[in-house]
């Protein structure tokens, strides 16, 4: 019996290990694939041409700056919406709402996260963009703002769900201690509970950003996809073209191995590097804050 | 990627045709003729629809359809590797000379026509434009509807994505006015929408918008706000319709062609005759093209 148990242990350990390593292996393989397909673009198109402001691939204008700025504007807009709303909702669910309300609301918020983005895109085209056009008196409602609002909506459920879990796992004694010291409810939340749950909340925001920058379908449907440089303050109110939408719209028809094909992969590589940078920044912040806490405690 | 997909689709058609009546696998139908059809990506969906229908009616005929572009199809015809080449443009004099040098006399069939309608929101009072005005609007020279006699509203330009054949045709025929040396481009703030439905929807709800699309994609509620187009300011303003496309008065329309090597005979002749028949031409209208008379 002992032997069969050992034998089973070995197999289970091996399977779990394989799962763990395969995630890393896949990421590395994808990275190398992107490098292999994307780097030839740097040879075929001069770097100076890539860093121009005209994207019109069928006539060999491969300036990726409009796409880069487009993605950044939409993502920044979405985070401006998702961070306050996401953390606010999480705080409300975990700290303020009565237990029964939390039991009802949290699954509902998570249900929202399960909505396919293409469905949100439909709502965006049919309801949101006409509303924005009339309400803000814009030439068209298909703007970066419409994309940012939808993406904010897509990022909020992820953010809320994870941030709420983090807040919920803060020991009750922290709150009791703060309240006993005479802190108000708000002071307890802002100075004690949120900082204590910081790493979980940061993870939530990071996953939210990840969801936002990689989102394609909803963005392609509502941002108008005009490759203009989004560098003015009013750019949020004008149409933009994101990197993801460009890849999705053009990859289907491009000739395998052509310059256009390689440039699209290069854009994919840039997207990958941006997500990587976001993740590394976030985890290094979490790592640093932990270290300081450990130092203080020791 | 698309040609690869088409080859797969075509092979499925081929295999299903070889399999004969799917209900009776025991008695496979003998394939008596095999037709190779290749060329224009604009026509490929139409060609596939035709091939599918024709094969279901004539299980003994097998038709393989592939895309690749008009040039590819014509080159294959010159080299004698296809029976029918699809082209969304006429063969050039150069190509005809090459074909003759190879012992091939290309025979041209106009199999359908394709009109591009320019459409605005019903609230917009503008109903007629010259080609030059449309070109100036799309290239960014005119940015307000007052520039073409409309109300004081900004112009929101809508276009299909760059991979659409319609986009390229519109660029060459309208924005560049058919001049091959002209290098005018779409204004960068032109909204590039991924589908016809996206364009129609935005035109329907936005009074600032102008869009273009195949005539077959214009829904009934927008047919009254389709722009009448004139070749120049003096010329007649013509609304696209099957009649005005067929009498060449509507300027943004083109023929779609099939070419055979020499006068067709046998199964190829039957197939081309069928394509020009009313039954096949209803498929043309269904796919948004203009049937030939």
* Cβ contact A91:A167 at 8 Å: yes
Residue A57 three-state SS: helix
- Nearest chain B residue to A258 by CA: give it: B1
Chosen for mutation from B193, B196, B197, B199 (greatest number of chain A CBs closer than 10 Å) is: B193
Over residues A13-51, the pLDDT tens digits come to 999 999 999 989 998 999 999 999 999 999 988 888 889
pLDDT surpassing 80 at residue A273: yes
The answer to whether the complex's ipTM is over 0.85 is no
Q: Does position B4 have pLDDT exceeding 60, yes or no?
A: no
Q: Which of A2-16, A174-188, B138-152, B259-273 is least confident?
A: A2-16
At B240-291, the pLDDT tens digits run 988 888 888 899 988 889 999 999 988 999 999 999 999 999 998 887 788 8
The predicted structure's pLDDT at residue B72: 76
Average pLDDT over residues A113-128: 88
- For chain B, how many residues are written? 293
Per the CB < 8 Å rule, is B161 touching A59? no
Chain A contact for B123 (CB, 8 A cutoff): no
Question: With bands split at pLDDT 50, 70 and 90, how would you rate the model's confidence at B108?
Answer: very high
A253–B1 CB contact, under 8 Å: yes
Which residue did the predictor score with more confidence, A25 or A297? A25
B198 contacts on A by Cβ (under 8 Å): 125, 221
pLDDT of residue B71: 75
Which of B153, B188, B202 is opposite residue A54, by nearest beta carbon?
Answer: B188
Residue to substitute from A118, A140, A239, interface B, most B β-carbons within 10 A: A140
Contact B188 A226 (CB under 8 A): yes
Other Cβ atoms closer than 10 A to B168? 16
Cβ distance of B192 and A220 shorter than 8 Å? no
Residue of B nearest to A57 (CA): B162
Given a contact cutoff of 8 angstroms between Cβ atoms, the answer to whether A74 and A219 are in contact is yes
Query: Would you call B156 and A58 a contact, using CB atoms and an 8 Å cutoff?
Result: no
Residues of A with CB under 8 A from a CB of B: 53-59, 61, 66, 125-126, 130, 133, 139-142, 220-221, 224-228, 238-239, 241, 248-254, 256
Cα separation, A273 vs A285, in Å, equals 18
Nearest to A225 among B193, B205, B209 (CB): B193
Interchain pair A225, B2: CB under 8 A? no
pLDDT digits (tens, 9 = 90+) for A211-252: 888 888 889 989 999 999 988 888 889 999 999 999 988 876
With an 8 Å Cβ cutoff, are B198 and A133 in contact? no
Q: What is the pLDDT of residue A152?
A: 92
The pLDDT of residue A83 is 92
Judged by average pLDDT, the poorest of A109-113, B20-24, B156-160, B204-208 is B20-24
Give the per-residue pLDDT at A90: 93
The whole-number pLDDT of residue B27 equals: 42
- Whether B161 and chain A come into contact, CB under 8 Å, resolves to yes
Residue of chain A minimizing CA distance to B210? A140
- pLDDT, tens digit, 9 for 90 and up, residues B208-224: 999 998 787 788 899 89
Q: What share of chain B is helix, strand, coil (3-state, %, to 5)?
A: 40, 25, 35
* B42 interfaces chain A, CB cutoff of 8 Å: no
pLDDT over 90, % of chain B: 43
Nearest of A207, A205, A268, A218 to residue A74 by alpha carbon? A218
| Pairing relationship of beta strands B61-66 and B33-39 according to DSSP bridges | parallel
Summarize pLDDT for B34-72 with one digit per residue, the tens. Answer: 999 988 877 888 899 999 999 999 999 999 998 777 777
**Residues 6 or more apart from A138 whose CB is under 8 A from it?**
A132, A237
Chain B residue numbers with beta carbons less than 8 Å from the beta carbon of A54 are 185, 188
CB atoms near residue A216 (< 10 Å): 18
Confidence of residue A253 (pLDDT cuts 50, 70, 90): low
Instruction: For A132, name the nearest residue in chain B, comparing CA atoms only.
Output: B206
Nearest Cα to A223, choosing from A89, A132, A92, A103? A132
Which residues make beta-bridge pairs with A34?
Answer: none
Contact of B257 with B108, CB cutoff 8 Å: yes
Q: Is the pLDDT of residue A69 over 90?
A: yes
Question: Once rounded to an integer, what is the mean pLDDT over residues A161-177?
Answer: 91
Q: Sorting pLDDT into bands at 50, 70 and 90, what band is B20?
A: very low
pLDDT tens, B24-42? 443 445 678 899 998 887 7
Which residues 203-232 of B are in CB contact (within 8 Å) with A? 205-206, 208-209
Closest residue on chain A to B206 (Cα): A140
pLDDT at A188: 92
Gap between the Cα atoms of A272 and A252, Å rounded: 20
Give one DSSP letter per residue of B64-112, joined into a string: EEE-S-HHHHHHHHHTT--SEEEESSPPPHHHHHHHHHTT--EEEEEEE
pLDDT digits over A98-108, tens only? 989 999 998 99
The length of chain A, given as a count of residues? 298
**Mean pLDDT (whole number) for B4-30:** 45
């Amino acid at each position: 019996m002992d032997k069969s148990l050992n034998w089973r242990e070995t197999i289970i350990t091996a399977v779990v290990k394989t799962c763990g390593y395969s995630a890393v292996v896949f990421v590395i393989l994808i990275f190398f694939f992107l490098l292999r397909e994307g780097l030839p673009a740097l040879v075929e198109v001069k770097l100076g041409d890539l860093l121009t402001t005209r994207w019109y691939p069928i006539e060999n204008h491969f300036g990726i700056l409009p796409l880069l700025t487009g993605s950044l504007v939409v993502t920044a807009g979405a985070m401006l919406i998702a961070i306050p709303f996401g953390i606010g909702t999480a705080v409300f669910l975990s700290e303020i709402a009565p237990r029964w309300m939390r039991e009802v609301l949290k699954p509902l918020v998570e249900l929202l996260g399960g909505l396919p983005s293409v469905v949100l895109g439909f709502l965006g085209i049919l309801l949101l963009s006409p509303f924005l056009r009339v309400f803000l008196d814009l030439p068209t409602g298909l703007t970066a703002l419409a994309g940012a609002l939808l993406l904010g909506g897509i990022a909020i459920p992820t953010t809320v769900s994870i941030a709420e879990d983090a807040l919920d796992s803060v020991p009750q004694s922290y709150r009791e201690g703060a309240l006993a010291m005479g802190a108000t409810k708000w002071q307890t939340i802002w100075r004690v509970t949120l900082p204590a749950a910081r790493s979980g909340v940061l993870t939530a925001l990071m996953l939210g950003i990840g969801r936002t920058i990689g989102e394609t379908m909803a963005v392609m449907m509502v941002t108008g996809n005009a490759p203009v440089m989004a560098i003015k303050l009013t750019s949020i109110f004008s149409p933009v073209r994101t990197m993801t939408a460009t890849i999705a719209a053009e990859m289907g028809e491009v000739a395998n191995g052509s310059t256009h094909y390689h440039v699209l992969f290069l854009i994919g590589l840039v997207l990958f590097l941006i997500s990587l940078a976001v993740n590394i920044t976030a985890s290094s912040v979490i790592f640093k804050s932990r270290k300081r806490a450990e130092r203080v405690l020791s | 990627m698309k040609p690869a997909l088409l080859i797969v689709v075509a092979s499925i058609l081929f295999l299903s045709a070889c399999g004969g009546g799917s209900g009776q696998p025991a008695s496979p139908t003998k394939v008596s003729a095999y037709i190779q059809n290749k060329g224009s990506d604009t026509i490929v969906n139409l060609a596939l629809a035709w091939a599918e229908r024709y094969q279901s009616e004539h299980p003994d005929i097998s038709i393989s359809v592939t895309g690749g572009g008009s040039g590819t199809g014509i080159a294959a015809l010159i080299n004698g590797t296809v029976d029918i080449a699809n082209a969304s443009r006429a063969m050039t004099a150069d190509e005809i000379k090459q074909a003759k040098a190879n012992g091939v006399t290309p025979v041209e069939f106009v199999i359908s026509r394709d009109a591009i309608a320019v459409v605005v929101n019903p609230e917009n009072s503008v109903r007629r434009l010259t080609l030059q005005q449309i070109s100036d609007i799309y290239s960014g020279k005119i940015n307000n509807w007052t520039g073409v006699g409309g109300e004081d509203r900004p112009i929101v330009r809508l276009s299909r994505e760059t991979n659409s054949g319609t986009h390229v045709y519109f660029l060459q025929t309208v924005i560049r006015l058919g001049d091959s040396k002209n290098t005018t481009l779409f204004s960068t703030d032109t909204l590039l929408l991924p589908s016809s439905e996206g364009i129609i929807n935005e035109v329907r709800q936005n009074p600032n918008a102008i869009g273009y699309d195949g005539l077959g994609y214009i829904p009934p509620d927008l047919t009254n706000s389709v722009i009448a187009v004139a070749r120049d300011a003096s010329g007649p303003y013509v609304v696209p319709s099957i009649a005005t496309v067929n009498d060449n008065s509507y300027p943004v329309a083109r023929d779609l062609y099939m070419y055979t090597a020499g006068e067709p005979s046998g199964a190829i002749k039957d197939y081309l005759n069928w394509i020009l028949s009313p039954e096949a031409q209803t498929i043309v209208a269904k796919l948004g093209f203009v049937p030939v008379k």
